[in-house]
């Protein structure tokens, strides 16, 4: 089996505006998120909302937040957070420009270690179909990292 890295190391983050954290407080532990307004994500209407995953002392656990709003649109999720609508959770690169400008700040960083990223797995490189090679090249060149 061949593993082709499609992304660099990734990390999920919890973010909100500085104003949200000033008014509502910054959670110190992931379980405190149940007391906050959260903006959730789900892949489709029939799918369960994504459970926010954390790690403590090498043990992975998740928190079933009760989102005030749930969407499958990353742009809407980010805009809602930027408007002070609550705390949200996704890949750090999705929020990078807003974090860099100080519009969103992270919380609970100690509970969100990086992971190796995403890979495309296939049986072997021998006789790789041109379409597969094109897909690999396209995904590597066009990975969505900013909104």
In order along its 147 residues, the chain shows pLDDT tens digits of 777 777 788 899 999 999 999 999 999 999 999 999 999 999 888 888 888 999 999 999 999 899 999 999 999 999 999 999 999 999 998 999 999 999 999 999 999 998 888 887 877 777 778 898 888 778 767 764 432
Q: What is the pLDDT of residue 31?
A: 96
The residue behind tokens 């002392």 is 57
Q: What is the pLDDT of residue 143?
A: 60
SS3 55: strand
Domains of the chain: 11-117 (3.40.190.290)
Residue 69: exposure state from Cβ atoms within 10 A (0-12, 13-18, ≥19): middle
Q: What is the pLDDT of residue 146?
A: 34
Mark residue 52 as left, alpha or beta (left: phi above 0; alpha: psi -120 to 50; beta: remaining). Answer: beta
Q: What is the pLDDT of residue 45?
A: 84
Q: What is the pLDDT of residue 99?
A: 98
Residue 98 has which token pair? 């807003």
Alpha carbon distance 68, 37 (integer Å): 6
Please state the pTM of the whole predicted model: 0.79
Q: What is the pLDDT of residue 50?
A: 84
Mark residue 117 as left, alpha or beta (left: phi above 0; alpha: psi -120 to 50; beta: remaining). Answer: left
Cβ proximity of 92 and 12 under 8 Å: yes
């Amino acid at each position: 089996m061949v593993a082709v890295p499609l992304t660099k190391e990734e990390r999920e983050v919890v973010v909100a505006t500085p104003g949200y954290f000033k008014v509502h407080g910054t959670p110190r532990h992931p379980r405190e998120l149940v007391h906050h307004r959260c903006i959730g994500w789900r892949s489709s209407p029939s799918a369960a909302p994504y459970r926010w995953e954390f790690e403590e002392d090498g043990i992975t656990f998740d928190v079933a937040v009760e989102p005030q709003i749930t969407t499958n649109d990353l742009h809407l999720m980010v805009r809602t957070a930027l408007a002070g609508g609550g705390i949200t959770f996704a890949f750090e690169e999705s929020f990078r420009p807003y974090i860099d400008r100080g519009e969103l700040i992270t919380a609970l960083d100690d509970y969100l270690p990086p992971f190796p990223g995403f890979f495309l797995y296939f049986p072997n490189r021998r006789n790789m179909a041109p379409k597969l090679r094109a897909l690999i090249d396209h995904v590597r060149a066009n990975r969505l990292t900013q909104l």
